[in-house]
Structure 1
């Protein structure tokens, strides 16, 4: 039976992470297959992965203990605050800005703000490691990282068409903070207190 370790990635892992994320885009599949299996969106090139590390993003990776292969990844960073970028992060930033301006409080009594929320994603697991509970471990692995950073919550956004990812987030215990649209596509902003 395979065992997996959760470890912090470094820029040296960029090539393997980029390959994993490129495969998780599932670009060659029919839309119905992508929805069933789950997918990641956007530029997952080696250059972008390296830039994420250079800009201070972190990543938790799942490593197959018997082979050393990286079979899962989950990036994390500060919550976005730029409401002008051409990316779904605009919806996240606008939502957080609105919550902050309205003085919205979460279920634990903490204000919902940019500076006390840690963003995670993209997250992906290889097909051959799927079904081994790694997505849950990669999400739950964000909690101690957020606690060390003194964040009140972890947040992530998911394209509403990505039903597999929506189901994973709900199964792991994240709740929907809000929904937003970007370029006509609806997204859900998920949150979990730490």
Structure 2
């Protein structure tokens, strides 16, 4: 079977929101969440619609079944929280005039993990956004050991760190043209 990727549309919203909720790991211990990875935050349909109409939400499918998603957003969409802190960190570090986007959250259905779905999603997202943006950025909570390892595996730069309350985050950045050129 072949995994395909595309920009998501309104018909995908229910599946994306369900996979996002299932990927939060709320029923796991902190150790299990760190090992398996987790998606933070909650999202409603109106926020998902804004992201889809903006820089985009990408889905991976196999035979019409949702295998995973990768969201992207633009600076200014979020007034507070980790996304806002990430925007501030990247804006302070990047050269003046750098056009950047945020990527994430990303979730892959456990049945499809280890099959290149995240690579395919990151490649599709980068191919779509690379012509208009110089830099992609993401924030990952330090407690999410799986996600930290994945971002390091992809060779993304650990550009900054910040804390909100008791939670510590790493800001990863990457050149989307680098990922757009992958065969995925």
Q: Retained in 2: the 8 A contact 1:136–1:168? A: no
Report the counterpart of residue 105 of structure 2 in structure 1. 122
State the superposition RMSD in angstroms.
1.9
Match in the other structure for 2:26: 27
8 Å contact 2:101–2:136 — kept in the other structure? Answer: yes
Work out the CA distance in 1 between the residues paired with 2:169 and 2:65. 31
Shift of 1:80: 4.0
Q: Which structure has the greater CA radius of gyration?
A: 1
Structure 1 residue runs of 5 or longer lacking an equivalent are: 105-110
Q: Aligned to 1:5, what secondary structure does the other structure show?
A: strand
Give the deviation of 1:59 after TM superposition. Answer: 0.8
What TM-score do you get using the length of structure 2 for normalisation? 0.86
Aligned to 1:173: 155
* 1:87 aligned onto 2:81: yes
Distance 1:81 1:178, change over 3 A: farther
Are 2:65 and 1:69 aligned?
A: yes
What TM-score does the superposition give when structure 1 sets the normalisation length?
Answer: 0.82
* 1:183 equivalent in structure 2: 165
What CA deviation, in whole Å up to 9, does each residue of 1:19-48 have, x standing for no partner?
111110011111111111100011134454
**CA positional deviation for 1:112:** 5.8
Aligned residues: 176
Q: Which secondary structure state, in structure 1, belongs to the residue aligned with residue 105 of structure 2?
A: strand
> Secondary structure of the residue that 1:141 maps to in structure 2?
helix
Distance in structure 2 (CA, Å) of the matches to 1:81 and 1:46 = 15
Q: In structure 1, what is the Cα distance between the partners aligned to 2:50 and 2:26?
A: 23
Contact kept? 1:22, 1:45, Cα under 8 Å: no
Q: How does 1:29-48 map to 2 (within 5 A)?
A: 29-48=28-47
- Range with bigger deviation, 169-178 or 138-147: 138-147
